[in-house]
Structure 1
Amino acid sequence: MSEEKDLKEEIQEKEEKEEIKEVFEGAKLEEEYIEKVIKINRVCKVVAGGKRFSFTALVVVGDGKGNVGYGYCKAKDVRQAIEKARRKAIKTMKKISLKGTTIPHEVIGKCKASEVLLKPASPGTGVIAGRSVRAVVEAAGIKDILTKSLRSHNPLNLVKATFNGLTSCKTKEEIEEFRKK
């Protein structure tokens, strides 16, 4: 009997240590990345027994040094949806070319019916952008930029369009390197 109790206590202590370890690793991730929740939406599926509700979350994650990604996921709980979207955003992170605190040149990002005009700005201008576009730009670490949302204003498509526009930007050195090949 006493051996079983000792064994159970030992297992419980190990589980507590693992939980504490997970908390510290999670805190490390929070410090490492800039995370912005853009939209949370409650969605419904009608089944024979009634309605089943679940939640979708759109999250943008960046390191503030030119890496940014987005995730859009669904779960039965808000917290789970945000966590799934955050993990997906970290997986989809891509490097963005920066020229100081802005982008190298003007570009239009497109996704379905949404278009986003992204213009470089002089130092001290700040981020002139709407909510969805601002989240992507700030997570990427861009400090000075002018943006204009054209056509559709769907948050998911705006994030995708901004992401497409930023990833298509190339610095002068990258273009020269590409042309040499």
Structure 2
Amino acid sequence: MARSQKEDRSAKGEREDTEIVDKLVGINRVAKVVKGGRRFGFAALVVVGDQRGRVGFGHGKAREVPEAIRKATESAKRGMKRIPLREGRTLHHDMKGHFGAGHVILRAAPPGTGIIAGGPMRAVFECLGIQDIVAKSVGTQNPYNMIRATFDGLQSINSPRMVAQRRGKKVSEVIGKREDPAVSAPAQE
């Protein structure tokens, strides 16, 4: 009993869906005034990720909240991106991202720091699988622009493997030896 390729893909797709975590960032309600009252509509903003380096966001609009969330989740799954992480817990280097009036500063952090970030950025980092990061948003507090600015910063990450490949060198040549700050700092008396 051989299964077709389509059945294999659907089984694989079901397995991937069970691993994906989604976080609802916000719901907006809008009212349209019509003869006889108001018509309400809802817009949902959702972030999804596999907590192993893939993350995406999406938004959906509908007359009912569950339908808006479903549309947003499907949109986020379609637009997932892979982000390289250092040791699977933090960023490779510090970076800035912006979108419109939203500016974010993302900084790698030592183990045990946790996620120090606010609101929408925290949802992105939790879905991405980052455990140690310090982030600051400057400018707008609009969650849509904050998430887009965060993604702008995350997409500019260059892992040592990517830099080495671009330069035609080995990863060890690009990284070099990292010095221990306790050893290299002179003793203060």
Tell me whether the two structures share a fold, i.e. TM-score over 0.5: yes
Which of the numbers 103, 124, 127 marks the counterpart of 1:136? 124
1:44 aligned onto 2:18: no
Pairing 1:95-134 to 2, within 5 Å after superposition: 95-100=82-87, 101-134=89-122
Query: What is the SS of the residue equivalent to 2:57?
Result: strand
Query: What is the SS of the residue equivalent to 1:168?
Result: coil
The root-mean-square deviation of aligned C-alpha atoms, in Å, is: 2.1
- List alignment gaps of at least 5 residues for structure 2: 1-13, 170-189
Pairing 1:1-181 to 2, within 5 Å after superposition: 31-47=18-34, 50-100=37-87, 101-180=89-168
One-letter code of the match for 2:127?
A: A
Following the alignment from structure 1 to structure 2, what is the Cα–Cα distance between the partners of residues 28 and 35? 15
Counterpart in the other structure of 1:12 = none
Change over 3 Å in CA distance of 1:179–1:37 after alignment to 2: same
The structure where helix makes up a greater share of residues is 1
Scaled by the length of structure 1, what TM-score is found?
0.81
Following the alignment from structure 2 to structure 1, what is the Cα–Cα distance between the partners of residues 31 and 65? 14
Number of equivalent positions: 157
Contact 1:97/1:167 (<8 A) preserved: no
Deviation at 1:179, TM superposition (A): 2.9
Following the alignment from structure 1 to structure 2, what is the Cα–Cα distance between the partners of residues 154 and 28? 34
Following the alignment from structure 1 to structure 2, what is the Cα–Cα distance between the partners of residues 168 and 128? 20
Counterpart in the other structure of 1:9 = none
| Residue range with higher mean Cα deviation, 168-177 or 80-89 | 168-177
Deviation at 1:39, TM superposition (A): 0.1
Q: What are the superposed Cα offsets for residues 136-178 of structure 1, whole Å, 9 maximum, x if unpaired?
A: 0110000000000111111111111111111111111101212
- Percent identical among aligned pairs is 46
Query: What is the SS of the residue equivalent to 1:123?
Result: coil
Following the alignment from structure 1 to structure 2, what is the Cα–Cα distance between the partners of residues 139 and 31? 14
Contact 1:129/1:148 (<8 A) preserved: yes
Deviation at 1:48, TM superposition (A): 5.2
Q: What are the superposed Cα offsets for residues 45-92 of structure 1, whole Å, 9 maximum, x if unpaired?
A: 344554321100000000000000001110010000000000000000
